[in-house]
Amino acid sequence: MTKKKFKDQFITYGIVIALYLIMEILMKTGNLSSHLKGLLVPMTYYAVIAVALNLCVGILGELSIGHCGFMCIGAFASAVFSKLTQNTLPAAPRFFLAFVVGIAFAALFGFLIGIPVLRLKGDYLAIVTLAFGEIIKNVINAIYFGVDSKGPHISLNNVMDLGMEPDGQVIINGAMGITGTPRDANFTIAIVVLLLSLFVVLNLMNSRDGRAIMAVRDNSIAAESAGINVTKYKMLAFTISAAIAGAAGVLFSHNITSLTATSQYFGYNASIMILVYVVLGGIGNIRGSVIAAAILYLLPEMLRGLNTYRMLIYSIVLIAMMLFNWAPAAIEWREKVAHKFIKRNA
């Protein structure tokens, strides 16, 4: 690893840690409003999933608009685990194992879904990820799962089909989802998860594997002729990306107590919102994703004072920011202005 890259990585971790310390100090001294305090954990898990999606979109170069599906799998798998072991395990090891379960399930599904998805290209790949995301959501919405003295029961029809003993406990109740998941997540754990995700992704980028992945992104045919196993590297990146999204899901389900597989959390709209973070933060720029996720999650919350005009203003800001950041004319103009500014100062 070159010195410059090391420095670059260090800045990324530094920003996250600095932000964490500032928030902790503000919190400890009582200077943080409850509103902001409540936003810290969601902000962090959206940053985590933005990092995951950037690995897929920016580093692997494949557009996914179903990433919240993996988050959904991580959330449900870990919540089921936590519910089952709520009375048998102490909180700390239980939450750790919940992460293992959530990440493992998300990675497994990432792998399985990756097999067909990565055979496709461009917009067709994107639409298939969207399709998988919607399928995951739709199927989880129809799952009824309960446990009683005779063991687990599962049904795709309704809760009566479970045929549960009276002592049984319904864990996933179709659209009503999972309620009463222990609230184990907190800001410190969330930040640790974010740092670990950053560590995984940044190290991957700077490793041999990472260079191979980027070679596949830039030109898969050339990469293949250079002896790189294209399928293997695509699968590797996609699975890791899904696993990190799963970790975000674990934080999600252990932060609010009612978990339902509905569009506002796991549908294509939610996935696109994450994509907005990635694109505004800079495609392939991991640090940018973290910053953009934090700012854009905060933005509509800070706009609450505007009431019903809030989302309208948000959409205008979104369009304006896109034009400002990406339009060739705007970039040219910005460079000109920056140039003048530097000249004047010189």
Partner 1 sequence: MLSKAFLVPYLQIFVGGNMSFLIYLINGLSLGSIYAIIALGYTMVYGIAKMLNFAHGDFIMVGCYVIFTICSTFSGNTVVGLIAAVILCTLLGITTEKVAYKPLRGAASPLAVLITAIGVSYFLENLALLIFGADIKSFSSVVSWQGLSFAGGDLKIQGVTIITILSSVVILIVLQLFIHKTREGQAMLAVAEDKGAAMLMGINVNKTISLTFAIGSALAAIAGALLCSAYPSLSPYLGAMPGIKAFVAAVFGGIGSIPGAMIGGLVLGIVEILSRTYISSQLSDAIVFGILIVVLLVKPTGLLGKKIQEKV
Partner 2 sequence: MKKMKSVISLLAASALLAGTIAGCGGNAGGNTASTGESTATESSASGATFKIGSIGPLTGGAAAYGLAVVNSVELAVNEINANGGINGYQVEMKGEDDELNAEKSVNAYNTLKDWGMQFLVGSTTSACSLAVSENTHEDNMFQLTPSASAADCVAYDNVFRVCFSDPNQGLASAQYIGSHKLASKVAIIYDSSDVYSSGIYQTFAQEAVNQGFDVVSAEAFTADSKTDFSVQLQKAKDAGAELLFLPIYYTEASLILTQANTMGYAPIFFGVDGMDGILTVENFDTSLAEGLMLLTPFAADATDDLTVNYVKNYKEKYGETPNQFGADAYDAVYIIKQCLEEAGATPDMSVSDLCEAVKGKIVTITASGLTSDTMTWDASGEPNKEPKAVVIKDGAYVTAE
Q: Which residues contact partner 1 by CB under 8 A?
A: 57, 63, 116, 119-124, 127-128, 130-132, 134-135, 138-139, 141-142, 156-157, 219, 221-222, 268, 272, 275-276, 279-280, 283, 308-309, 311-312, 314-316, 318-319, 322-323, 325-330
As a whole number of angstroms, the distance between CA 42 and CA 163 comes to 37
Residue 206 or 325: which CB sits closer to partner 1? 325
342 interface partner picked from partner 1, partner 2, none, CB below 5 to 8 A per type: none
What's the Cα-to-Cα distance from 35 to each of 198, 290, 298, 304, rounded to whole Å?
26, 20, 10, 11
Residue 180 is given by DSSP the state -
As a whole number of angstroms, the distance between CA 285 and CA 331 comes to 18
Is residue 87 at the binding interface for partner 2, with CB under 8 A as the rule? Answer: no
- Mark the segment that binds partner 2 (CB under 8 A) among 107-115, 119-127, 154-162, 186-194: 154-162
As a whole number of angstroms, the distance between CA 139 and CA 122 comes to 26
124 interface partner picked from partner 1, partner 2, none, CB below 5 to 8 A per type: partner 1
Is residue 180 at the binding interface for partner 2, with CB under 8 A as the rule? Answer: yes
Is residue 295 at the binding interface for partner 2, with CB under 8 A as the rule? Answer: yes
User: Shortest distance, CB of residue 22 to partner 1, whole angstroms?
Assistant: 29
**What is the chain's Cα-based Rg?**
22
As a whole number of angstroms, the distance between CA 148 and CA 172 comes to 13
Please report the DSSP string for 244-281 in residue order: HHHHHHHHHHTTSSEE---HHHHSHHHHHHHHHHHHHH
**Which of 250, 246, 248, 240 is closest to 80 using CA atoms?**
250
The residue ranges that bind partner 2 (CB under 8 A) are 33-39, 42, 134, 138, 141-142, 158-160, 174-177, 179-180, 183, 252, 255-258, 260, 262-265, 267, 280-282, 284-285, 287-288, 291-292, 295-296, 298-299, 301-311, 317, 321, 324-325, 334
